[in-house]
Amino acid sequence: MKDVILADFSSSIAISNCGSVQVKKVTDPAGQTGSFLYELSRADESAIRFDATKSFSDTLTVDGDFDLIEDLKTGTNYTLAEGALDPAWALQTISCTTDGTTYDVYRA
């Protein structure tokens, strides 16, 4: 026999195989402030969460500011994009750290 689910259960139980992403702003020079809009989504525009959320966006404002985005569906096609920046700022890098190893995933 196979288990069969006949209803949307995502809002009534915790799903334990979800991932998380921490988005952290680091300014150069250090210690600066600004308005740093970003958006996390998937390249194929599919949901990032089981509740059908397709993207998450927020604005970080100071050096070291971060968001921890949890309850994400597992996958390899996530994209992180930074929004329009004040002319005083330019995007230099986006890096990903997993299992203690850091990878550059964007370089201007």
> How far is Cα 7 from Cα 9, in angstroms, rounded to an integer?
6
Per-residue model confidence (pLDDT) at position 14:
52
Q: Which residue has the higher pLDDT, 83 or 8?
A: 83
Q: Which residue has the higher pLDDT, 42 or 1?
A: 42
What's the pTM value of the predicted model, to 2 decimals?
A: 0.75
Per-residue model confidence (pLDDT) at position 44:
95
Helices (H), the chain: none
Per-residue model confidence (pLDDT) at position 33:
93
β strands within 1-108, DSSP E: 19-24, 33-42, 55-62, 66-72, 78-82, 93-98, 101-107
> How far is Cα 2 from Cα 32, in angstroms, rounded to an integer?
56
Residues in the chain: 108
pLDDT digits (tens, 9 = 90+) for 63-102: 999 999 998 998 888 999 999 888 888 888 888 888 888 8
Residue 15 pLDDT greater than 60, yes or no: no
Per-residue model confidence (pLDDT) at position 52:
93
Q: Residue 2: pLDDT band by 50, 70, 90 thresholds?
A: low
Per-residue model confidence (pLDDT) at position 97:
84
Domains of the chain: 19-107 (2.60.40)
